[in-house]
Amino acid sequence: MLLPLLVFIVGIFITGIVFGLFQSFGYYPAIGLKTFTIDYYINIFSDDNFLSSLKFSVYTSLVSSFLSVIFGLILAYTLVSSSKNTKNRFINVYKLPIMVPHTIAALLTFMLFTQSGLMSRIFYSLGIISEMSEFPHLIFDKNGFGIILAYLWKGMPFITLITYDVLQELNEKYSKVAANLGSNKYQIFWHVLLPLIIPTIASGFIIIFAFSFGAYEIQYLLGASTPKALPILSYIYYNSVNLEDRCNAMVINVCISICSFILVGVFMLANRFMMKNKN
């Protein structure tokens, strides 16, 4: 029963990839380009703006995904280890950021961490800073701190969500056994639970990284004018008055897709290797 809908969705996806790939090689009949060429790839790969954007996107996505995994896992284990009353009180609170759109997450980050925002006012009221301008420049900065904070706020509860049930099941099966054998909480988590949930953590990391690497909203709303993230640079090329620049935009989109596919492939190979070792 789902086959017609799946064919439609997959067809749109594959069609978009094919047309984007053709346009990245200069085949764009709508504007008179009917010859395949690699000139647009050479143009983009030799552009310093592309290289700086690539480094910036990898940096912000990697740092935000890594921090999301760490804090999300800590939160999940804290909930699993907490009392029933505490667990029932907070079990649904951490899910709220997942339901908030990324544009709203960017707005909240701006309101909290800009130099005239809520945090700077609190620091000023407490006497930690003498002027609000002394508050660290976290929004629109070249280091991407605002982008990382917004993705961390969105990614941490996602990691908690996908690891909580797994941790709870494993905790009931193995933690008591390990505790009876003399293991403390640190040893139980590090040597018993963590190795068993690495595939879940890795899949969550890949999902968060791939999304943040190719997403547009938060990068556009909180990013600095330079360096620009890859999706922003692609958008600028696509909206250029010179329609040939759309081919440059498609080259960037192809690069984003390839990076995501490579990451998924590495995960699948690593997961298959781990399964063989277990057997």
5-25 residue pLDDT tens: 888 888 888 888 888 899 999
Q: What is the pLDDT of residue 234?
A: 92
Average pLDDT for 146-172: 88
List beta partners, residue 28: 33
Report whether pLDDT(59) > 90.
yes
Specify whether the CB–CB gap between 238 and 245 falls below 8 A.
yes
Report whether pLDDT(90) > 80.
no
Dihedral (CA of 2, 99, 66, 234) sign: positive
Give the integer Cα–Cα distance in Å for 261 and 5: 24
Q: Comparing C-alpha atoms, which of 195, 192, 202 is closest to residue 269?
A: 202
pLDDT band at 98 (very low <50, low <70, confident <90, very high): confident
* Eight-state DSSP code of residue 224: -
Q: What is the pLDDT of residue 274?
A: 63
Q: What is the CATH number of the domain that holds 151?
A: 1.10.3720.10
Q: What is the pLDDT of residue 69?
A: 93
Are both 113 and 17 inside the same structural domain? no
Q: What is the pLDDT of residue 147?
A: 93
Are both 21 and 137 inside the same structural domain? no
Please provide the average confidence, as pLDDT, over all residues in the chain. 86
Q: What is the pLDDT of residue 249?
A: 93
Are both 24 and 55 inside the same structural domain? no
Lowest-confidence range among 19-33, 62-76, 175-189, 258-272?
175-189
Q: Is residue 42 a part of any domain in this protein?
A: no
Are both 107 and 225 inside the same structural domain? yes
Are both 172 and 229 inside the same structural domain? yes
CA dist list (Å): 107 to 9, 31, 96, 150 = 32, 38, 16, 9
Which tokens sit at 250? 């498609």
Q: What is the pLDDT of residue 173?
A: 72
Are both 22 and 141 inside the same structural domain? no
- Kindly report whether the peptide bond that precedes residue 97 is cis, defined as omega within 30 degrees of 0: no
Which one is predicted more confidently, 1 or 41?
Answer: 41
Q: Is residue 124 a part of any domain in this protein?
A: yes
User: Where are the alpha helices (H) located in the chain, listed in sequence order?
Assistant: 3-24, 39-45, 48-81, 84-90, 96-99, 102-113, 118-125, 145-170, 176-180, 185-187, 194-214, 217-222, 230-238, 245-278
Domain span holding position 92: 49-278
- pTM for the model stands at 0.86
CA dist list (Å): 46 to 17, 37, 43 = 24, 16, 5
Report whether pLDDT(44) > 60.
yes
- How many residues does the structure list for the chain? 279
Question: For the chain, how many structural domains are there in total?
Answer: 2
